Structure 1
Amino acid sequence: MIRLLLLLLAVFALPARAEEVVMGLSKDRVSITADFDGSEILIFGAVKRETEIRTEPPLEVIVTVSGPVTPVTVWRKERRFGIWVNTDAVEIDAAPSFYAVATSAPWPQVISEVEDLRHKVSVNRAIRSVGAPMNIVDSPSFTEALIRLRETRSLYQQRPVTVTFNESTLFDTRISMPANIVEGTYTVRVLLTRGGRVVSQYSSELEVGKVGLERWLYNLSRNQPPLYGLLSLVIAIAAGWGASAAFRALRSG
């Protein structure tokens, strides 16, 4: 409730424009712990306008959440001599580790192809693959395969008509982040569109990271690998000894 009140105050403090969007997040950090099984983010906002609400064409809202961007190598497998082997490969220059896009209406109604290309809103446009080998004529299929793979793991989400937009002023949506998300800074964007054209946009950041013992072990593995390996060995020996002792106690009992 406090976040909503602050958001509404921000709306009326904005400089005059025809239509302006602002947004807020239910949390600005997602903490990954040992029992982390995913998280849900509430994204909400409002539209400030200096004129009466136009009904035609209607105002629409697009919300995107993008994870850290990294290069990805996608391989094609083929069956040869009775076994599956890697054959062709395409290096995708930049692909978000997580990407969700939610809209207030069906996709064709919210943004044009030209605006999608300009602002890189859809999942396909968010992935950049410009260095595909010339000898692979169907290189776009590798990008499609990456999208399908990450969709099955809930890392890529296309969520049409999941943004609630009340009276063309207040909006909200929920984005589910799976347990297999990676650490890093996530970018949250809200775009206002009218007639397929972007008229306003706003972005914010969301931090995702390990905390507590998980963070300590992660830093140890990166900064002091020998010590981390020794600690892992000690824990494994202790666990084995404990299990053996428990088994002997059960047998003697």
Structure 2
Amino acid sequence: MLWRLFAIFWLCCSPALAEEEQVVLGLSQDRVAITANFDGSEILIFGAVKRESPIPSGPPLEVIVAVAGPSSPVTVRRKEKKLGIWVNTDSVLVDLAPSFYAVATSAPLTKILSDTEDLRYRVSIERAIRSVGAAMHIRGAQDFADAVVRIREDEGLYSIREDTVAVDEQTLFRTSIEMPADLTEGEYVARIFLTRSGSVISQFETTIDVRKVGLERFLFNMSRQQPVWYGLMSLVIAIAAGWGASTAFRLLREN
């Protein structure tokens, strides 16, 4: 009987405790359209902190914004030079890696988020990638996951942007996330974390829809759903373009 009373008390009190500070979020756009001349986009993320009581004293409120693209498995291969030729040797399947991942923070990440909370919420780039493990005979298995991070950082797909979230009076916050031109279609998940002393006190999640539109969408769907017709159409267009170019050059020479 006592434990039931305790459970009822906890259920009644925990929502009030959890709602002491909540995120109220806004986006400049919740949909990104990929067209022929698409060269990237910038998403403005802004919001406020809703409170039922005055701002707590002590450590200041910090904000972390993480935007992740669709995740998929990635096969990473190691190349080694044998007899003067670079060949593939070991390979590891990284279980899940986001196609795009950006983290913006109001202060250095390691100072506002503890390792325990990072492990729990998978905020840092290394924790956002899931690699269960490789075969026992493969040496340096972690190097394969690190290679995914390094390659995608060089391509501008992964980034940590510290001190780029502006927080005013521990109530209003804003930042912008730059998204490159070579985006993968799908739902991008934006997560916002409020932290104090390295602990997450509130979080909020929303999605951003990234899709091809117009002719690009039509061609993409055809290439996936009707590959034979897509190949024939591509062949006809290539022949027509070649014939048109040769005709134009011939006319120029005759004139």
TM exceeds 0.5? Answer: yes
Task: Write the distance in 1 (CA, Å) between the matches of 2:183 and 2:134.
Answer: 27
Which residue number corresponds to residue 190 of structure 1?
A: 192
Give the direction of change, closer, same or farther, for the CA distance of 1:16–1:117 in structure 2 (3 Å limit). closer
Q: Identify which of 29, 32, 35 aligns with 2:34.
A: 32
1:41 Cα shift? 0.6
1:239 Cα shift? 0.3
Q: SS in structure 2 opposite 1:125?
A: helix
Q: Encode CA deviations 1:86-113: one digit per residue, 9 max, x unaligned.
A: 1111111011110001100011221000
Q: SS in structure 1 opposite 2:133?
A: coil
Q: Encode CA deviations 1:217-238: one digit per residue, 9 max, x unaligned.
A: 1111111111111111110111
Q: Identify which of 211, 214, 224 aligns with 2:213.
A: 211
Task: Write the distance in 2 (CA, Å) between the matches of 1:246 and 1:40.
Answer: 42
Which residues of structure 1 form unaligned runs of 5+?
1-14
1:55 Cα shift? 4.3
Which residue number corresponds to residue 21 of structure 2?
A: 19
Identity of aligned residues (%): 62
TM-score, normalization: structure 2?
A: 0.91
Q: Identify which of 44, 47, 51 aligns with 2:46.
A: 44
Task: Write the distance in 2 (CA, Å) between the matches of 1:133 and 1:165.
Answer: 46
Task: Write the distance in 1 (CA, Å) between the matches of 2:71 and 2:125.
Answer: 13
Amino acid across the alignment from 1:30: V
Aligned pairs for 1:101-140 (under 5 A) are 101-140=103-142
Task: Write the distance in 1 (CA, Å) between the matches of 2:193 and 2:65.
Answer: 7
Q: Encode CA deviations 1:119-175: one digit per residue, 9 max, x unaligned.
A: 111101110000311112411111111100000001101111110111111111111
Which residue number corresponds to residue 221 of structure 1?
A: 223
Q: Identify which of 181, 186, 201 aligns with 1:179.
A: 181
Contact 1:70 1:94 in 2 (8 A): yes
Which residue number corresponds to residue 59 of structure 1?
A: 61
Largest Rg, 1 or 2: 2
1:39 Cα shift? 0.7
Amino acid across the alignment from 1:76: R
Count of aligned pairs: 240
Which residue number corresponds to residue 243 of structure 1?
A: 245
Q: SS in structure 2 opposite 1:232?
A: helix
Aligned pairs for 1:138-177 (under 5 A) are 138-177=140-179
TM-score, normalization: structure 1?
A: 0.92
Q: Encode CA deviations 1:204-223: one digit per residue, 9 max, x unaligned.
A: 00111110000001111111
Which residue number corresponds to residue 11 of structure 1?
A: none
Amino acid across the alignment from 2:202: S
Task: Write the distance in 1 (CA, Å) between the matches of 2:75 and 2:19.
Answer: 44
Amino acid across the alignment from 2:25: M
